[in-house]
Amino acid sequence: MNEYRIKGLSCSGCAQRIEEEIQQLEHGEDAKLSYNSGILTVNPQVSMTDVKKILKSDNAYIEKNSETNTGHDHSDHDHDGHDHSHTEGNAKMLKMLVTSGVIYVAALLLDGVLDKQAVILLYLVATIISGYTTFFRGLKNLFKLKFNIDTLMTIALVGAVSIGEWKEATLVAILFGLNELLEGYGMEKARRSMEALLQVAPKEALKMENGEEIIVPISSLQVGDLVKIKPGEKIPSDGIVSEGKSSVNEAAITGESLPVEKESGEPVYGGSINNEGLLLVRIDKAYKDSSLAKILHLVQEAQETKTPTELFINKFAKYYTPLIMIVAALVMLIPPLLFQGNWMTWLYQGLSVLIVGCPCALILSSPIAIVSGITRNARNGVLVKGGVFLEQLGKIDTLAFDKTGTLTKGEPHVAQLEVYDEERFFLVAGAIEKSSSHPLAKAIMKEIDSRNIVASEPDEIQTITGRGIKAKVNGQTYWLGNEKSIEHIIIPDSIQTRVEQLKEEGLTLVLLADEQQVIGMFGIADEIREESRSVIESLHKLGIKRTIMLTGDHQKTAEKVASAVGVSEFYGNLLPEDKVKRIKELSANHHVAMIGDGINDAPALASAQLGIAMGKGTDSAVETADIVLMQDHLGKLPEAVSIAKKVNRIIRFNIIVSLGLKVIALLLTIPGWLTLWIAILSDMGATIFVTLVSLTILIERKKHLGKQ
């Protein structure tokens, strides 16, 4: 399938009509045209001459150099070429409207000065300049018995002219053209914001080959290639630093503005920017498989999905337009036939009803808000895979968290110390653990290093399975490990009591003893993320009623972590299938989202109405969940929820405003006060209003969510 960027689409209804017409072409049955993203997907065998002809009927056109293959990167689009042509298209339409406006004003001023026929000619010229495209589209639809916005406007124009309302007909044509132009600008603004996001992909890379530097397109990079990244340049694809040291801005991937220090052996992500040092990076993923390419592809796909609200609006508009035509016909016929009304007066009122019936604002209530919400979250490093998931995120009232790696760092750290012989405890423990790669040993060494203690090498060392380590340090034998490792000595009651207390607190104990006594012990726990408590508080303030922690750890550990982070409920000793069962129980009466690290929580993430994964661009996280936090922490979650709630609020508000203004305008027909220009102004006003309100989602406020 080939993809093309389409410019000049005037409305979502027009996009739908173009899609249907392209589908009628040979090999065109799989064609898809998204108004939200402005992307047309067609079979390569379809006649592009015919496609261009169909697009031209709506003043739409294919962006220069925009062809690409579905699923591949969009990094080599000619962004410079299309900006000019798009501006030119808008400028042309604006010139036509300004010209029409000038002629219209001239006709108004010359009315009574010039001959009546000359004034009518001026009105006719102004109407043709601004309204001919709408007129011909509507006429074509009328012959096909397709009833949409263009059909309504065409009937209204013909009707106004036929009853001699030249002034009103011209104003309708000009205002409708202006409405379309502003509607297009609004959607374009949302798309531009998205395109700016999609342009973070670099286009070329500096590849090292036989000691020489060669500039190559990023799409040609292979796994194992060595690339040089100079200060200020973008990293072309995911890889490992081979040489050099620098700080890297990973905002394109994670939304985090603070730079991350990188040195030899550390991973880097495509699209991130090298700040000051020179880096040599060994590519470990071809660009199309990189984190950035996946994110950009998913963000693009996200624009294509329709939310339940959008689907309802589109279905509603389908029946609503013919219904308005019936109402207009009744307004035209009933008063003259049954109540001796004036035919010309009620024909005029009926035409006004047709214009009021244009569902522009209603159809536009949702897409701009959705695209703006997805874009705003993507800028923050929160990847929402579709409008439907954004809408769901705004509805959730229950949020279930995995513990390890989500609320906690998933890294053991020393939480408690019991030292009975300070002189030997840290030195001996350091000597035994310094060469071990066990996670508990790393936690112990981190504690010892923080005290600036330099441990010597052990004389000999022996691992005892299921117990710990037996070692000789400075000629003396020591045992380090769990309680079983020190069974050779009698533990005093006071120490035994302390052991039980620490175990009750959910700590894992590592004890150190010589041949006669316990020298000390480390109480080790999973380290709680510093942001967890403030995130939970912010979520509660945002209206998430229940926050629930689900963990496989025993109940005491679960209780301790739950208390520290402030979740409203917790459940321990859960197997993966128990988590799924608990999620399903919660989902019966609540809108539930589950958040985990996307690897071991896949079943629970899939079971929840909304799966949220966290992890710095890990493949499994990106693939498993509906929403991905591209950071390795929860800090961006409250803002993502806040944006989603704002999107839902704005969509509801837009629907109320667009329908409310129509109801008010229609009520004006009862006393006969509705005029064509009031009708078009009410429709245009609603469209401009919902567009501007939707675009406010893109505005970022530097305000701490927890204090809202």
pLDDT in tens, 151-168: 777 777 777 777 777 887
CATH number at residue 277: 2.70.150.10
User: In the prediction, which pLDDT does 74 show?
Assistant: 39
The count of domains in the chain is 4
Task: Give the Å distances, CA to CA, from 294 to 91, 322, 385, 393, 569.
Answer: 36, 43, 11, 21, 35
User: In the prediction, which pLDDT does 640 show?
Assistant: 93
Answer with the one of 511, 527, 543 that is the final residue of a domain.
Answer: 527
Considering the candidates 402, 526, 597, 601, report the single residue annotated as catalytic: 402
Q: Is the pTM of this model over 0.75?
A: no
User: In the prediction, which pLDDT does 168 show?
Assistant: 74
For residue 260, is it within any domain?
Answer: yes
Count CA within 13 A, CB hemisphere, residue 494: 5
Containing structural domain, residue 475: 410-527
* One domain, residues 177 and 311: yes
Report the range of poorest mean pLDDT among 85-89, 259-263, 311-315, 603-607: 85-89
User: In the prediction, which pLDDT does 417 show?
Assistant: 93
Taking the C-alpha atoms of residue 405 and residue 596, their distance in angstroms, rounded to an integer, is 8
End-to-end CA distance of the chain: 47
Residue 554 has pLDDT above 70, yes or no: yes
Answer with the one of 501, 527, 553 that is the final residue of a domain.
Answer: 527
Phi, psi of 69 (to 5 degrees): -100, 140
* One domain, residues 218 and 263: yes
* One domain, residues 311 and 190: yes
Instruction: State how beta strands 398-402 and 592-596 pair.
Output: parallel
User: In the prediction, which pLDDT does 76 show?
Assistant: 38
pLDDT in tens, 40-68: 888 888 888 888 888 876 667 777 655 55
Most trustworthy range by pLDDT among 75-79, 189-193, 485-489, 540-544: 540-544
Taking the C-alpha atoms of residue 505 and residue 510, their distance in angstroms, rounded to an integer, is 15
Taking residues 253-267, what's their average pLDDT? 77
Taking the C-alpha atoms of residue 188 and residue 184, their distance in angstroms, rounded to an integer, is 6
User: Packing angle between helix 116-143 and helix 79-110, nearest 10 degrees?
Assistant: 140
Does the active-site annotation cover 289? no
Residue 12 has pLDDT above 80, yes or no: no
Q: Which two tokens stand for residue 344?
A: 């010309």
* One domain, residues 317 and 177: yes
* One domain, residues 416 and 504: yes
Share of the chain above pLDDT 70, in %: 82
User: In the prediction, which pLDDT does 687 show?
Assistant: 78
Q: Which residues contact 527 (CB under 8 A, 6 or more apart)?
A: 408, 409, 411, 412, 413
Distance of CA 671 to the CA centre of its chain: 48
Q: Which residues contact 26 (CB under 8 A, 6 or more apart)?
A: 45, 46, 47
* One domain, residues 163 and 225: no
* One domain, residues 103 and 190: yes
Residue 138 has pLDDT above 90, yes or no: no
Which among 633, 630, 672, 647 is positioned nearest to 250, based on CA atoms?
630
